[in-house]
Structures are given as structure tokens and as C-alpha cells.
């Protein structure tokens, strides 16, 4: 049997209590999953997304990633402000809109993982200042 080389195209980083863990979409995604993902992109593109839909979408994400993490780990590892955007970008990647999906994920990563550069403080000896 021919061995299939795995190619990672879409990266998901979860910030878990044990540290950051990286997951990749599987190399093979079924057309059934693509149809479901297409439906989710429409539902998640709304101004407000009902809680029940988010729960279902989260379960779909866990399934698509091969149950390598739980729903709870996914929810705990994603910043609350970006839950819908993260699920939306995963669905975009599944339906083949990789560039758009990666742009969204990169924007989220840069927002949540940005390290603020501290300005060097001007530490003059204040006792020597002229009055």
C-alpha cells in the first residue's frame, strides 16, 4: 500500500493550561465535511450567532480535526473574542479558501500573541536636576 505524505495547510494553535498546542487540518477532508463547512461559513457570517449554533460548530471543528482535542480544550484554548472568527476561518480552509482562512488566523494570532515592546524609561538622576 502506498504511503500518503501528509501536507499541513492550515494551523490551529490552542493556548491550553499545559502550554500551546498546534494542530493541522488533515490532508484528506471529505466532500461531506466540505458541504457542512460551507453551510457553517454562511451561518457564522451573520452579525450575531446564536449560542446553540456555536456549540454545534465547535463540535464540527473537533470532528474535522480528528478528535485530537476535546470541545472543552478547543473552547479553553481559543480567546473568547475570536471564537466565531476562528471557527469561520477553519470552515473557509475546509472549503478551499485557504488564503482567506490563513489571513484571518494570522490576524487573530498577531492580536492575541502580540508582545508589547516596552519603551526604555529615561532614568535620569533626579537629584542632579537643576531647579
pTM listed for this prediction: 0.72
pLDDT-derived band of residue 73, with 50, 70 and 90 as boundaries? very high
Instruction: Output the pLDDT for position 114.
Output: 58
Please state the domain extents for the chain: 31-113
Average pLDDT over residues 89-100: 86
- Whole-number Å distance between alpha carbons of 21 and 14: 5
- Mean pLDDT of all residues in 55-81: 92
The residue to which cell 480528528 is assigned: 66
Cα–Cα distance measured from residue 70 to residue 63, given in angstroms and rounded to the nearest whole number = 9
**Which residues are CB-neighbours of 26 under 8 A, at least 6 positions away?**
6, 64, 65, 66
What is the structure's pLDDT at 49?
Answer: 83
Counting Cβ atoms within 10 Å, is residue 100 exposed (0-12), middle (13-18) or buried (19+)? middle
What whole-number distance in Å separates Cα of residue 66 and Cα of residue 25? 9
Mean predicted confidence (pLDDT) in 106-121: 64
Residue 84: its H or E element? helix 83-94
- Angstrom CA distances, 68 to 22, 96, 102, stand at 10, 22, 21
Residue 17 region by backbone torsions, left for phi larger than 0, else alpha for psi between -120 and 50, else beta: alpha
pLDDT value, residue 56? 92
Percent of the chain with pLDDT over 70: 78
38 or 114, which is more confident: 38
In the 8-state DSSP scheme, what is residue 47? S
Express each pLDDT in 3-62 by its tens digit. 444 444 788 889 888 889 989 988 888 999 999 999 998 888 877 888 888 999 999 999
Amino acid at each position: 500500500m502506498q504511503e500518503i505524505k501528509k501536507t499541513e495547510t492550515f494551523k490551529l494553535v490552542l493556548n491550553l493550561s499545559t502550554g500551546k498546542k498546534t494542530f493541522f487540518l488533515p490532508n484528506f477532508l471529505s466532500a461531506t465535511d466540505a458541504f457542512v463547512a460551507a453551510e457553517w461559513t454562511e451561518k457564522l457570517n451573520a452579525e450575531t450567532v446564536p449560542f446553540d449554533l456555536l456549540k454545534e460548530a465547535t463540535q464540527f471543528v473537533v470532528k474535522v480535526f480528528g478528535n485530537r482535542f476535546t470541545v472543552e480544550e478547543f473552547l479553553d484554548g481559543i480567546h473568547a473574542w475570536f471564537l466565531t472568527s476562528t471557527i469561520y476561518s477553519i470552515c473557509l480552509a475546509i472549503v478551499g479558501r485557504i488564503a482567506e482562512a490563513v489571513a484571518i488566523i494570522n490576524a487573530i494570532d498577531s492580536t492575541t500573541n502580540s508582545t508589547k515592546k516596552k519603551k526604555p524609561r529615561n532614568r535620569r538622576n533626579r537629584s542632579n536636576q537643576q531647579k
